[in-house]
Amino acid sequence: MTHPLIAREGWLVLLAAFAAALIATWLLGWWSIPFWIWAAFALQFFRDPARLPPADADAVIAPADGRIVVVEKVNDPYLEREALKISVFMNVFNVHSNKSPVDGEVKGRWYTPGRFVNADLDKASTENERNAVWIRSARGDVTSVQIAGLIARRILCYVRIGDKLARGQRYGFIRFGSRVDVYLPTTARAEVSIGQKVTGGRTILARW
């Protein structure tokens, strides 16, 4: 099956943006430039390039494009365990398609309404709107949490309990700036550091 270059979540937005730009050009001439800038921004935001995950069986891969903002041992609030937490912050210029970090089966899912503070802040993990997916892999349990940000107003998740996921498989999307937290068993070893840029579906976050 051919991978779409543009995320399906953006098709209506793009149609509206380019239609508005064309109409503005017809009515306003050069004054239509802001409409074209918005259409170009929407086009780059909703891009969804195909990614081939690394073949390394020990690898846990990044669930999203962005920058690492947290690497630490914390309590996983969903599975109530000590865990290694790795957080990826996405700005509005990153690809916002979310990928499964591991091969496994979806064992649980939790949606929590909340605020929309800057997703770059630590409190976003506990205060913002979020959707957590518990994936049971052959190596251990992983919790992947989609978190809305300052601009983001919609989290989309397409998996249900019992679904099987492959590493790098697309499972959701967050509209505009946001964050994804990954909780791993403490036996996992982080392969990234704070400030590092990562590519969803490709960069190795940690190894078992």
Point out the residues that are catalytic. 178
What does the buried/exposed string (b/e) look like for 68-79 if buried means 16 or more CB atoms within 10 Å of the residue's CB? Answer: bbbbeeeebbbb
38 close to 32: Cβ distance less than 8 angstroms: no
Strand order in the sheet with 155-157: 97-99, 170-174, 155-157
Q: Two tokens at 64?
A: 């999203």
CA distance 53 to 66: 16
Distance set, CA 111 to CA 27, 78, 156 (Å): 44, 11, 11
Q: From residue 76, give the alpha-carbon distance in Å to each of 23, 28, 48, 81, 201.
A: 50, 54, 30, 5, 23
Integer angstrom CA distances of residue 183 from 96, 112, 167, 170: 19, 17, 15, 18
User: What are the distances in angstroms from CA 12 to CA 7, 9, 25, 37, 43?
Assistant: 11, 7, 20, 17, 11
Q: Which amino acid is at 148?
A: A
